[in-house]
Structure 1
Amino acid sequence: MGAPLRWDQLDEAIRRGLLPPDCDWIYTKKREAQEIVPGVFLGPFGAAKDAERLQQLGVTHILIVRAPTEARIIKEKFPERFRYQVLEVHDNSFQNIIKHFGPARDLIKSVLAQRGKILVHGTAGMSRSAALIVAYVMEEFQLTFDMAHHYVLTRRHCITINEGFKNQLREYEMLYRGAGAAQRSQQAAQQAGHCPTHHTSLKRQYAEFLKYHAETVAQEQAQLRV
């Protein structure tokens, strides 16, 4: 599960819109899109084929994350209803995905600035697209990789980012933190007020979820050894 969450570092992120953990997760939800932060959804290709549901959710833009060889299958299904962007990314540990973090972040921020909503998807919505979302959450909410990864996991429990992508996310954490330290300090000083009761409630939910998830993983591993 990585390093433990530092709740003191979550205060600013909670104020800016982190959502409570999805404590009602069931296996079939992996086929749907989940809202990770307000206006930003992560899901599988199957979710991108349900235009009516996407419109109910208010989705206006779709970011497709696919390999060139997948283009014949994973493609723009409803260009007349949604605005599409495509990033070509292979799902393997040797793929350079870090170069896509910035463009994906800029697209998401642009969509939200227009009061739109965006779905990010690959094939299963578990590795490539999940890595892009973790990078966005990490930078936008000023979280460590471990904290951002844990958080996205509480919203879409089935993500399984490959180790190569995880290593690049850790590298990206160092890059963005080094570039924006002064600006973050200034923003933190300007946004000093918060609601302790609300924060404590969300922190408790995250802690309870992570404990439950760790116990579940341990039980599954024990069953595999039997």
Structure 2
Amino acid sequence: MNETMHEITSGLYLGDIFAARNPSLLNDHQITHVLTIARGSLGLLSNTLDATADGGKAFKHLQIELDDLPDEKLLERLEEGVQFIDSALSPSGDTTEPGKILVHCLQGMSRSCSFVVAYLVWKKNISVSQALEIVQEKRKKARPNAGFYRQLQEWERRCRDSTD
């Protein structure tokens, strides 16, 4: 069983740097988009991102620079990440098929998990705890740090307020 990435919901994968650095794994899973949640150089990913997804198009990529520290300003970056995930999973103008996205950080535990949880809270109108349960059902080690969890709870409040 592949432990570097897990499909959380249809087309939405959560994984680590090893999954992101493996173009054949990405192509095997028909990944079209990669969301990197890490600070610093993408040198580790350059070979992967220079490779092409099946169909000859380059992987669409977004990097959000955050460290895995409780006082990082996750909340300020969630909307950008959630919108990128949503655009990946929505059919685009040139195809009626939705894409597939890998959301990753270094270990696929805290930063990337936080963005996947935020997306599920926003898209499915569920609580952070419900979203985290969905994620952990597929990727046992997924666990946002305490500061990220508090910010996700604020994200949940904002999402709920915007639908009221």
- Cα deviation, residue 92, structure 1: 0.2
Percent identity over the alignment is 28
Aligned equivalent of 2:29: 57
**Structure 2 stretches lacking a partner, 5+ long:** 53-58, 92-97
Q: Give, in whole Å, the separation in 1 of the partners of 2:44 and 2:86.
A: 24
User: Aligned pairs, how many?
Assistant: 151
> C-alpha separation between the residues in 2 aligned to 1:72 and 1:120?
15
Secondary structure of the 1:108 match is helix
Q: Secondary structure at the match of 1:78?
A: helix
Q: Distance in 1 between matches of 2:44 and 2:151?
A: 25
The 1-side partners of 2:49 and 2:72 are apart by 28
Q: Does 1:39 align with 2:39?
A: no
Query: What secondary structure sits across from 2:45 in the alignment?
Result: coil
- Give the greater-gyration-radius structure (CA): 1
Aligned-residue CA RMSD (Å): 1.5
TM-score norm. by structure 1 comes to: 0.63
Q: Deviations over 1:154-207 (max 9, x none)?
A: 0111112100000000011111101112xxxxxxxxxxxxxxxxxxxxxxxxxx
Asked if 1 retains the 8 angstrom alpha-carbon contact of 2:88 and 2:100, the reply is yes
8 A contact 1:39–1:117 mirrored in 2 = yes
- Structure 2 distance, partners of 1:96, 1:52, is 33
What are the ranges of 5 or more consecutive residues in structure 1 without an aligned counterpart?
A: 1-27, 182-226
Q: Given residue 78 of structure 1, which amino acid in structure 2 is its aligned partner?
A: L
The equivalences for 1:149-160 within 5 A come to: 149-160=132-143
Verify the 8 A CA contact 1:48 1:54 in the aligned structure 2.
yes
Tell me whether 1:124 sits opposite 2:107 in the alignment. Answer: yes
- Decide which structure has greater helix share: 1
Q: 2:72 aligns with which of 76, 85, 95?
A: 95
Distance 1:64 1:72, change over 3 A: closer
Is 2:163 the partner of 1:169? Answer: no
> 1:106 is matched with which residue?
83
